[in-house]
């Protein structure tokens, strides 16, 4: 039925208004499934077709009138400049790539991921569509959070073999195709925390791993905040005490639920990056002192920042869940959860020591090939691995080292430049925005975007198609706002 569903979605997107088509795409990000064209080629996902149709529908009317503006003049504050530089070095990195076909496929993959962002950016600049897009981001976040909790509940009624048949061989095969399914079920996955014979689920919901899932829900959290505080007017933020006393919309209960499933993903990098968020909050308050900021916006950010307290408090809720008997097995070690937390700073722990070794090899590779790297999509070469493992997740376990190793130091500089522009734009949007929904969205993004970027020092899971699509949507909304 996947092929028929894809055909139906394609027909709907062709006939529906462009803004409606983009809304449908945003809602469907974690729900798109792989298309079984043949037995050996069944991992081509529906989103790739739908995003291409949306882009062509947007660009086609512009071609006869030559209204498609691709770039502006070179400006430090213009986000397009670093993106074009990054694209240029991605293309140039094909030259040293050992597998040039793999490199070209990787470029096409990222270009495909970016198509809807281009359309969304244009629509949001020319209308009030940004508010509508923001509100609809909450839909997939709610869906994957609820599915994650259902997944957690299932561990108390079935054993590990039944779990793998349902979530691995059943659901994941249909979501991502047999190639990924075989890798996840037979070669390895990140779905469980192992301590000897003890086993605990790391919630991954509808995602291929427990690393991309928490990034997705955190990136979607600003939309939840925007909806929850929609009963407030911008002037209501002038009284911080009144804000704490006033009841928000019921959807606010999603905030602690999102925090909880992010903790239960067992992703230690997400836990550690939360400390970095606290430091970033201090940076924002310092910028408040150096910028003319209305009292309403200062109070709103203080209000949003206090929810970080809830995140840390929820570890007390996660603890009994993590150490409880799952998969019909008993657990004798109630220090299991604490051991996982302590392992964050244990450099001798297997996962940490392997990461450090990979970082060292990545640095050596960057020193050896600083300008164009080993070629985009060819990272396994850095570790002396088979290029097939690129599909299985072979990476530098650090987004920034990964980009430098694959495409060179100039590409890394361009990416950091873009991220700086994005964060700076988010801050200025927040302090100047008069629209309540946009103000809350930008304010909460000052918490969640740095969270994901700091987590990326330990992983490259943001490259997962679902997480990256939401990052593209988030960035497009923020960059489209005129101030």
What is the per-residue pLDDT for 247?
83
* Tokens (6 digits) for 360: 């060292």
* Tokens (6 digits) for 362: 């990545």
> 26 and 136 in contact (C-beta within 8 Å)?
yes
pLDDT tens for the 483 residues of the chain, in order: 899 999 999 999 999 999 999 999 999 999 999 999 888 888 899 999 999 999 999 999 887 766 555 555 555 568 889 999 999 999 999 999 999 999 999 999 999 999 999 999 999 998 789 999 999 999 999 999 999 999 999 999 999 999 999 999 899 988 998 888 888 888 788 899 876 567 889 999 999 999 999 999 999 999 999 999 988 888 888 888 888 888 889 999 999 999 999 999 999 999 999 999 999 999 999 999 988 899 999 999 999 999 999 999 999 999 889 888 899 887 665 556 666 666 666 555 656 788 899 999 999 999 999 999 999 999 999 988 776 666 666 889 999 999 999 999 999 999 999 999 999 999 999 999 989 999 999 999 999 999 999 999 999 999 999 999 999 999 999 999 986
What is the per-residue pLDDT for 180?
83
> 72 and 62 in contact (C-beta within 8 Å)?
no
Task: Please return the burial class of 251, using the count of CB atoms within 10 Å of its CB with bins 0-12, 13-18 and 19+.
Answer: middle
Confidence (pTM): 0.93
Q: Give the start-end residues of each E strand in 181-322.
A: 192-195, 198-201
* Tokens (6 digits) for 267: 């992703």
Backbone angles phi, psi at 201, to 5 degrees: -70, 140
> 72 and 78 in contact (C-beta within 8 Å)?
yes
> 100 and 372 in contact (C-beta within 8 Å)?
no
> 208 and 172 in contact (C-beta within 8 Å)?
yes
What is the per-residue pLDDT for 41?
86
In 3D space, the residue among 146, 152, 144 whose CA is nearest the CA of residue 317 turns out to be: 152
> 226 and 444 in contact (C-beta within 8 Å)?
yes
Residues ≥6 apart with Cβ < 8 Å to 424: 77
* Integer Rg of the chain from CA: 22
Task: Please return the burial class of 152, using the count of CB atoms within 10 Å of its CB with bins 0-12, 13-18 and 19+.
Answer: middle
* Tokens (6 digits) for 351: 């996962």
d(CA 54, CA 50): 6
> 351 and 342 in contact (C-beta within 8 Å)?
no
What is the per-residue pLDDT for 291?
87
> 364 and 373 in contact (C-beta within 8 Å)?
no
Please give the C-alpha separations between residue 264 and each of 145, 204, 305, 309, in angstroms, as whole numbers: 11, 9, 21, 17
* Tokens (6 digits) for 273: 């990056």
* Tokens (6 digits) for 45: 């996902």
In 3D space, the residue among 8, 120, 109, 106 whose CA is nearest the CA of residue 57 turns out to be: 120
Crossing angle between the packed helical segments 18-28 and 46-59, to the nearest 10 degrees? 160
Q: What is the DSSP letter of 306?
A: T
* Tokens (6 digits) for 260: 């909880």
In 3D space, the residue among 232, 221, 226, 229 whose CA is nearest the CA of residue 255 turns out to be: 221
Give one word for 436, left, alpha or beta, with left for phi > 0 and alpha for psi -120 to 50: alpha
d(CA 465, CA 32): 11
């Amino acid at each position: 039925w996947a092929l028929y569903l894809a055909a139906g979605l394609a027909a709907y997107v062709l006939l529906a208004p462009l803004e409606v088509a983009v809304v449908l795409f945003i809602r469907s990000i974690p729900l798109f499934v792989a298309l079984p064209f043949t037995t050996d080629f069944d991992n081509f996902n529906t989103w790739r077709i739908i995003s291409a149709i949306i882009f062509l529908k947007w660009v086609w009317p512009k071609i006869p009138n030559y209204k498609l503006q691709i770039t502006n003049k070179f400006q430090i504050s213009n986000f397009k400049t670093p993106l074009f530089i990054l694209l240029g070095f991605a293309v140039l990195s094909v030259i040293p790539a050992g597998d040039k076909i793999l490199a070209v496929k990787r470029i096409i993959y990222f270009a495909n991921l970016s198509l809807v962002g281009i359309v969304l950016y244009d629509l949001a600049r020319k209308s009030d569509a940004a508010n509508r897009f923001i509100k609809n981001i909450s839909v997939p976040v709610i869906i994957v959070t609820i599915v994650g909790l259902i997944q957690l509940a299932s561990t108390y009624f079935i054993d590990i073999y039944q779990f793998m048949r349902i979530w691995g061989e059943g659901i994941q095969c249909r979501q991502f195709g047999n190639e990924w399914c075989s890798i996840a079920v037979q070669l390895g996955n990140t779905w469980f925390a192992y301590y000897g014979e003890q086993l605990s689920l790391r919630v991954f919901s509808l995602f291929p791993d427990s690393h991309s899932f928490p990034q997705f829900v955190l990136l979607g959290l600003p939309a939840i905040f925007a909806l929850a505080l929609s009963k407030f007017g911008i002037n209501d933020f002038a009284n911080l005490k009144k804000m704490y006393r006033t009841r928000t919309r019921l959807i606010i209960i999603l905030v602690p639920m999102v925090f909880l499933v992010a903790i239960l993903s067992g992703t230690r990098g997400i836990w550690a990056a939360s400390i970095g968020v606290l430091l970033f909050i201090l940076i924002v308050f310092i910028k408040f002192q150096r910028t003319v900021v209305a009292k309403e916006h200062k109070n709103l950010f203080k209000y949003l920042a206090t929810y970080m307290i809830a995140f840390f408090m929820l570890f007390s809720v996660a603890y009994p869940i993590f150490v409880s008997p799952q998969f019909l097995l008993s657990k004798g070690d109630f220090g299991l959860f604490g051991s996982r937390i302590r392992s964050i700073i244990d450099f001798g722990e297997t996962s940490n020591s392997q990461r450090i070794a990979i970082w060292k090899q990545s640095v050596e590779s960057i020193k050896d090939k600083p300008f164009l790297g080993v070629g985009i999509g060819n990272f396994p070469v850095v570790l002396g691995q088979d290029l097939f493992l690129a599909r299985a997740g072979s990476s530098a376990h650090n987004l920034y080292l990964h980009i430098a190793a694959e495409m060179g130091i100039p590409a890394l500089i361009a990416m950091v430049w873009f991220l700086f522009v994005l964060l700076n734009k988010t801050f200025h949007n927040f302090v100047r925005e008069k629209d309540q929904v946009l103000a809350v969205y930008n304010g909460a993004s000052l918490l969640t975007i740095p969270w994901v970027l700091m987590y990326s020092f330990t992983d490259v899971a943001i490259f997962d198609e679902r997480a990256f699509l939401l990052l593209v949507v988030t960035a497009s909304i923020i960059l489209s706002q005129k101030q």
